[in-house]
Amino acid sequence: MVSEEIDQQYVDLRAGLVAHLTGAGRLAVVKAPPGSGKTHTLIEVLSTLVGAGQRVAVAAQTNSQADDICLRFAADHPEVPASRFASKGSLPPANFPVSVQWLTATAELPTSPGVTVATTAKWSLTDVGSPFDLLAVDEAWQMSWADLMQCALLSERFLMIGDPGQIPPIVTIDVRRWETSPRAPHEAAPEVVLAEPSLAGEMFVGSLPACRRLPHESVEFVLPFYDFDFDAFVEPGARGIDLPDGHQLADLSDGRPLVLTVPTPDHGPPLEVDPAIAGTAAAVVEQLLTAGATVRVGAVGEAGRPISAADIGVASSHRVMNAAIAKVLAPLGGAIRVDTPERWQGLERPVMIVVHPLSGVTDPSAFDLETGRLCVMASRHQSALVILARDHIGSTLADFVPSAGQAPGRPDTVGRGHDAHIRFWSALGSQERIRPFI
């Protein structure tokens, strides 16, 4: 699909949302693939609603997300009255726009049309008195149903937009007592809403049509993680890394992920920290920085530029492994970000190097097989993705037999995760993207 057609689909979706939320509609849910412009879409829709006289509250999941939304409003729609509602005693960050009011008291909340942005945690502790015309939730699949219920008195109308491939909301308490509940408080709020038959008649459900972040050739590898279809906005051949002919990373020029494996010892892989994988990560980074690599992040025909440490991100599922990787990468430059998939959500880099969640795992748990974790790892790159793993993963997936340990009536998340991992690994294998690291 050409970019003009995709852009028109965005226009049509925004028009449908505005018509629904200015009419009789009370609820809208928008599914977004990774890097699809969901915050831009949210801002465009809310700007139109404010222009129609609405007073809108926005719930973000973190302070940095809330600040970013305010920055985007100030840059893209300075005509929209915008406020940032923050904790008492807090001060705006250094780069915060002066055109956005910084509020810390409930009595300061605007009563006229405009947008007020706060975190979910802040809204849940606030009695606003006069409800807003709309509560819009950014990164909605990171918000639990319990969190949404704590914000339910903010408005009678709700707009939720987010990436359903993200990691589910993090819950730190035992949730087994609610496993059979049709509205489990720990489930992602949009999933609970979408599964409620009584809401079908008054709900707008849509999806953003394209992934703008990933190379065209990478999109097919993440599509199976989603229950809706979407296109690649980037043209074929536009993104990748160019290296000298014969280099073991030269195949990164075509935009597809590349898996580099390390042999598994006869006695099994190391537990928790894998020094060989950490060393491989350092070797790959060093090769990218010293082999004359250029990275292409623009359109077809645009020249690449020399790759730098700031272009590279690294992800592993466990903090102890990330600490080991960060230690061996320290001599190569502090601009390389190393973090967990949970903290990579919403972020991107031209080049990502990730440790496969099952590397070193011979008896996968529900944590290891969580589809959101793998999906986030596979969708943070703009030009190239290198996956590092012990070479047992194919046999581990083939030998593993999922057990149905979920409560009656609940989805089989372990089985679903196992299937997603198999399909992802098989797709890489069928395209000959798995090879030993030399």
Distance, CA of 353 to chain centre: 16
In this predicted structure, what is the pLDDT of residue 302?
86
In this predicted structure, what is the pLDDT of residue 182?
72
Residue 129 buriedness (CB in 10 A; 0-12 / 13-18 / 19+) = exposed
Question: What does the alpha-carbon distance between residue 336 and residue 34 come to, in Å, rounded to a whole number?
Answer: 22
Q: Which of 170, 165, 222, 166 is closest to 387 using CA atoms?
A: 222
The tally of CA atoms less than 13 A away on the side-chain side of residue 354 is 27
> Which residues neighbour 211 within 8 Å (Cβ) at sequence distance 6 or greater?
33, 34, 35, 36, 219, 222, 230, 231, 232, 233, 379
Compute the Cα dihedral for 42, 44, 45, 49 and give only its sign: positive
Q: Which of 32, 6, 393 is closest to 225 using CA atoms?
A: 32
Rg (CA), the chain: 23
Q: Quick one: CA torsion of 56, 62, 66, 68, rounded to 10 degrees? A: -140
Residue 340 has phi, psi (to 5 degrees) of: -80, 160
The pTM is what? 0.91
In this predicted structure, what is the pLDDT of residue 388?
98
Q: Quick one: CA torsion of 83, 88, 89, 91, rounded to 10 degrees? A: -20
Residue 278 buriedness (CB in 10 A; 0-12 / 13-18 / 19+) = buried
pLDDT along the chain (438 residues), means of 10: 89 97 94 96 98 98 95 97 95 94 96 97 93 97 94 96 90 68 83 86 93 97 95 96 94 97 93 94 96 92 92 96 96 92 94 97 91 96 98 95 68 84 97 96
Which pair of structure tokens corresponds to residue 100?
Answer: 């956005």
Question: What does the alpha-carbon distance between residue 224 and residue 213 come to, in Å, rounded to a whole number?
Answer: 17
Residue 2 buriedness (CB in 10 A; 0-12 / 13-18 / 19+) = exposed
Which pair of structure tokens corresponds to residue 79?
Answer: 């005509």
Q: Each residue of 245-272: b (16+ CB within 10 Å) or e?
A: eebbbbbbbbbbbbbbbbebeeeebeee
Question: What does the alpha-carbon distance between residue 53 and residue 32 come to, in Å, rounded to a whole number?
Answer: 27
Which pair of structure tokens corresponds to residue 24?
Answer: 């009789």
Tell me how far CA of residue 207 lies from CA of 302, 363, 368, in angstroms: 30, 36, 28
In this predicted structure, what is the pLDDT of residue 180?
67
Tell me how far CA of residue 245 lies from CA of 231, 242, 249, 257, 288, in angstroms: 31, 9, 9, 18, 14
Q: Each residue of 38-73: b (16+ CB within 10 Å) or e?
A: bbebbbbbbbbbbeeebbbbbbbbbbebbbbbbbbb
**Complete domains list, the chain, with CATH:** 1-211 (3.40.50.300), 216-436 (3.40.50.300)
246 dihedral zone (left: phi>0; alpha: psi -120 to 50; beta):
left
